[in-house]
Amino acid sequence: MFRAIRRSNLALPMDVCQDILTRGSYGTLALLGDDDYPYAVPVNYVLDGKNIYVHCAPEGHKMDAIARHDKASFSVVEAHKVNPEDLSTDYRSVLVFGRIQVVEDNAEKLAALHLLCKKFVPDMGKDVEDYIARKAPTTAVIRLSIEHMSGKEGYRLARARNQESQA
């Protein structure tokens, strides 16, 4: 159902893909938008196992797109450096496909908001409870359930990783 990476020698192992998703601070969420135009928007997110959580406003383009169609993709780029000497790019990226929905269960919503706060403001301390209590009623949380994930890196990074594994 999902295509394999054409240049399999540049494919990242799943554990590296998981690490990139865990460490990333933002990704691009792609949905089927108005009039079937792609709608891709950068978002902050948190990974919790096989789900990606995003907070957003309870209405707008993103929410309308999710209501119409539950398939989505999500991409994260970990590294990007252009190498002018050989016209190449050092990069690592992950692409995820899955089903997206608005989180209706209040306990799951609050848990996702806690994970987001812990990731992005780890020193917030006990103020996080008050903040979440104030913001949760006017904040939506969406969950992207991962069905397929692949990662890819630039040729020079792949070569270096292969040399390390052979050493």
Q: Is 5 contained in some domain?
A: no
Cα distances from 47 to residues 60, 76, 134, in angstroms, run: 23, 12, 23
Residue 48 pLDDT > 90: yes
Q: Is 118 contained in some domain?
A: yes
Contacts of 98 (CB under 8 A, 6+ apart): 52, 71, 72, 73, 74, 144, 145, 146, 147, 148
Q: CA 38, CA 40: separation in Å to the nearest integer? A: 6
Cα distances from 57 to residues 16, 25, 41, 49, in angstroms, run: 31, 19, 13, 24
Determine the pLDDT at residue 19: 95
Q: Is 164 contained in some domain?
A: no
Q: Is 45 contained in some domain?
A: yes
Residue 150 pLDDT > 90: yes
Number of folded domains in the chain? Answer: 1
Q: CA 16, CA 121: separation in Å to the nearest integer? A: 24
Determine the pLDDT at residue 55: 96
Q: CA 134, CA 136: separation in Å to the nearest integer? A: 6
Buried b (16+ CB within 10 A) or exposed e, 17-47: bbbbbeebeebebbbbbeeeeebebebebbb
Determine the pLDDT at residue 143: 98
Greatest C-alpha distance within the chain: 54
Q: Is 48 contained in some domain?
A: yes
Domain interval for residue 95:
10-159
Determine the pLDDT at residue 126: 77
Determine the pLDDT at residue 125: 77
Determine the pLDDT at residue 102: 98
Q: DSSP assignment of 55-107, as one string?
A: EE-SSSHHHHHHHH--EEEEEEEEEEEEETTTTEEEEEEEEEEEEEEE---HH
Determine the pLDDT at residue 119: 93
| Residues 3-19: tens digit of each pLDDT | 888 888 889 999 999 99
Mean pLDDT calculated for residue range 37-51: 96
| Residues 95-143: tens digit of each pLDDT | 999 999 999 999 999 999 999 999 998 887 778 888 899 989 999 999 9
Determine the pLDDT at residue 89: 80
Q: Is 18 contained in some domain?
A: yes
Q: Is 122 contained in some domain?
A: yes
Q: At 148, which CATH number? A: 2.30.110.10
Q: Is 165 contained in some domain?
A: no
Q: CA 158, CA 127: separation in Å to the nearest integer? A: 43
Assign 52 to helix, strand or coil: strand
| Residues 57-91: tens digit of each pLDDT | 999 999 999 999 999 999 999 877 887 888 878 88
Determine the pLDDT at residue 9: 85
